[in-house]
Amino acid sequence: MTAIANPSVSIQDLSLNFGAISVLETLNLDVAEGEFIVLLGPSGCGKSTLLNCIAGLLDISEGRIFIKGKNVTWEEPKDRGIGMVFQSYALYPQMTVERNLSFGLRVAGLAKDEIAKRIARAAEILQIEPLLQRKPAALSGGQRQRVAIGRALVRDVDVFLFDEPLSNLDAKLRSELRVEIKLLHRKLENTMIYVTHDQIEAMTLADRIAVMKGGVIQQLDAPQTIYNRPVNRFVAGFLGSPAMNFLEGRLEKDKGDWQFAVEDVRIPLATYTFEKEPAPGPAVFGIRPEHVAFNSGAGWPFTATTSVEVVEPMGSDTLVWLKLGGQNFTVRVTSERTPNNEDTVGIGFDPMRASLFDAQTGNRL
Amino acid sequence: MSDQAVSLPPATIGREASGPSGPKPRHRFSRRNIFLYGTLIVVALYYLLPLYVMVVTSLKGMPEIRLGNIFSPPLEITFEPWVKAWSQACTGLNCDGLSRGFWNSVRITVPSVILSIAIASVNGYALANWRFKGADTFFVILIVGAFIPYQVMIYPIVIILREIGLYGSLSGLVIVHSIFGMPILTLLFRNYFSSMPEELFRAARVDGAGFWGIYLRIMLPMSLPIFVVAVILQVTGIWNDFLFGVVYTRPDTYPMTVQLNNIVNSVQGVKEYNVNMAATILTGLVPLIVYFLSGKLFVRGIAAGAVKG
């Protein structure tokens, strides 16, 4: 983790326990000014809990939270300079959109003309002007979520917190609003912390992704780095759809060159960059289905011939299931080149694009 | 019908084939309907018959009642018994009818209902949304309170009220009613508020609203059904109360139920059945009206409050 000079949000040694259960463990995270950070992980990994801690909705057990250089560990949510958008929108059902937007400002006792000004600005940015006099019940899901974002917007805060804001929407709306959130971020240049379990949202929106598991940040890096150089087997398997291929085998040295052995298959690792000098022993070899070439003959450091087991057309691509070294192996091919079941095909790839993990710890080798 | 369908040659089985299509026909006089409605009608009659007898008797003069035909409708309708029950019937020294008890009951019920619901709704809200340390223990203690028989507490409360100088006064009774309404009302409100989305509460906190702000501006406007339920429960419960009324008040502050008892059970003179019936109906009218006016909301609120525990 590289140090950030003037972090917008800084979480230091944060721990959270519910009784004997530890949900977050001495977690550290620095978010730069104007950065879009996505907290990504499976359900129960603590990502929403972390967001609630930042918002001040949960009391933490240990550690400190800074927002804009101010220690807000003991501050009330409203005093932290944050706006939050919830998965269920959490609009006040009895109030019109306008009253929903202005609620926080009215509580804070702002002047009427200032409130009107801020609502007008937010409504313009989010294009919800025609909806201002409606009740939430009369809005569609996408409109509701826009109003929910507006409620954070009018607060004129430094940090936006999103708690799975698109999970309740259908696929089409989700991709539309995803783009809108991205544009909004570009326009406002606020710091945004965004929780999701959807890897596509994470990949498309984030400046940096923090992949979480069991209350611990596994990897914090740019989306491409996380995708191409996952630090452990969990991160490698969690990101990417279809998922990365894993082959369980052994790391061996053959005439001074490292190679990976599964049954009678030998994968030369001359092009692979090790994190540090490895030792022979059991290991896991991972390669993404789209990094494997199909029927391309020679020219690859590794080639093999095998037979097709199942073909899964997915529209734009086709996923082909094979066996390699006795283990399942998938290859992603363009639709035009779809083979038939039980065809014998040749595959090839460059281990440069692969990832090797320790069989025990799962860490990248 | 079915034989016909089977005997059709294969070629005609298709779009033209006759047979079931469209909505399934319903038989008005199916065995199920007869049984269902029959039971309902019998049960309804069973409950309505006494009411019918009461209304009919209250509209008869005493000579007609002495004939003994309790089910026959009045030959000569008179409202005399109603007037007498309301303003002239004697209880002990007073001869101003039920009206005194009615106003006493109003003076007891209105503040008790308002006070108990105001406190219990805040209790329920705090227990549901502001999970303070020991909240569960507190809640269990409160619920256990609902199972302690009233009789056990009557005498201690008499002493407490005497010591703080409220024994025999209406305000003493108001306090007793408010306290005894607390367990069930708190449970009701807690469950209702627990069923509201928690993110709403969180959003309001981020917006800067505090304990009272969230309660008054977010939760209250959303909880009309449960308030209606609470009002009905309390109005009927307190209005119909006899035990506390007779124990904690004096004759001139007796609630309507106690006074009704005194009118009906007074031993001097002839039994005026028509006056007794009229007085009973008058006393029962308030809860009855409350039910009729709020029936729909009541069912909705009960369902809403019962969903989540």
Q: Is residue B61 within 8 Å of B80, Cβ to Cβ? A: yes
Domain termination site, one of A236, A261, A294 = A236
| Domain of residue A282, residue span | 245-358
Q: Do A216 and A263 share a structural domain?
A: no
For B274-291, the pLDDT digits (tens) are 889 999 999 999 888 888
CA–CA dist A283, B12 (Å, integer): 68
CA–CA dist A348, A296 (Å, integer): 7
Question: What CATH number should be reported for the domain holding residue A148?
Answer: 3.40.50.300
Nearest-CA neighbor of B58 among B32, B37, B75, B77?
A: B77
Q: Do A256 and A193 share a structural domain?
A: no
Q: Do A172 and A140 share a structural domain?
A: yes
Helix axes B256-265, B224-240, angle to 10 degrees: 30
Residues of B in contact with A78 (CB under 8 A): 205-208
Mean pLDDT of A181-205: 92
Work out the end-to-end distance of chain B between its first and last CA atoms, rounded to an integer number of angstroms. 52
Which domains does chain B carry? 10-84 (no CATH), 99-306 (1.10.3720.10)
Mean pLDDT of A127-132: 92
Mean pLDDT of B216-241: 90
Residue A282 lies in a domain: yes
Residue B113 clears pLDDT 60, i.e. is over it: yes
Q: Do A33 and A85 share a structural domain?
A: yes
| Percentage of chain A lying above the pLDDT 70 cut | 98
Q: Do A149 and A232 share a structural domain?
A: yes
Question: What CATH number should be reported for the domain holding residue A258?
Answer: 2.40.50.140
Q: Do A351 and A224 share a structural domain?
A: no
Q: Do A151 and A169 share a structural domain?
A: yes
Residue A2 lies in a domain: no
CB contact under 8 Å between A86 and B221, yes or no, is no
Q: Do A160 and A221 share a structural domain?
A: yes
Return the structure tokens found at A258: 């490292």
Residues of A in contact with B207 (CB under 8 A): 78, 103-104, 107, 151, 155
For B162-203, the pLDDT digits (tens) are 999 888 888 999 999 999 999 999 999 999 999 888 999 999
DSSP A214: T
Q: Do A155 and A82 share a structural domain?
A: yes
Strand-pairing partners, residue A209, are A38, A221
Domain termination site, one of A175, A207, A236 = A236
Strand-pairing partners, residue A208, are A37
Tell me the residue type at A254.
D
DSSP A243: P
CA distance A5 to chain B (A): 28
Domain termination site, one of A202, A236, A270 = A236
Residue A1 lies in a domain: no
Distance of CA A218 to the CA centre of its chain: 12
CA–CA dist A353, A272 (Å, integer): 8
Band of pLDDT at residue B238, cut at 50, 70 and 90: very high
CA–CA dist A56, A59 (Å, integer): 7
Return the structure tokens found at B72: 């026959």
Residue A329 lies in a domain: yes
pLDDT for res A134: 93
Q: Do A129 and A24 share a structural domain?
A: yes
CA distance A290 to chain B (A): 40
Residue A302 lies in a domain: yes
Rounded to the nearest 5°, which phi and psi values hold at B280?
-65, -45
Q: Helix and strand tally (H, E) in chain A?
A: 8, 20
In a mutational test of the B interface, the residue from A80, A82, A89, A92 whose CB has the highest number of chain B CBs within 10 Å is: A92
Residue A298 clears pLDDT 70, i.e. is over it: no
Q: How many domains would you assign to chain A?
A: 2
Non-local (6+) Cβ contacts of A158 within 8 A are A8, A67, A68, A81, A82, A190, A191
Interface size A-B, in CB pairs within 8 Å, comes to 58
Q: Do A162 and A73 share a structural domain?
A: yes
Residue A261 lies in a domain: yes
pTM of the model: 0.81
Tell me the residue type at A120.
A
Count CA within 13 A, CB hemisphere, residue A79: 9
pLDDT for res A185: 93
Residue A227 lies in a domain: yes
CA–CA dist B125, B186 (Å, integer): 9
CA–CA dist A224, B11 (Å, integer): 64
Q: Do A253 and A144 share a structural domain?
A: no
Return the structure tokens found at B155: 């005498």
Which of A77, A89, A108 is the closest to B205 by Cβ? A77
CA–CA dist A210, A47 (Å, integer): 9
Band of pLDDT at residue A82, cut at 50, 70 and 90: very high
Residue A3 lies in a domain: no
Rounded to the nearest 5°, which phi and psi values hold at A271?
-90, -5
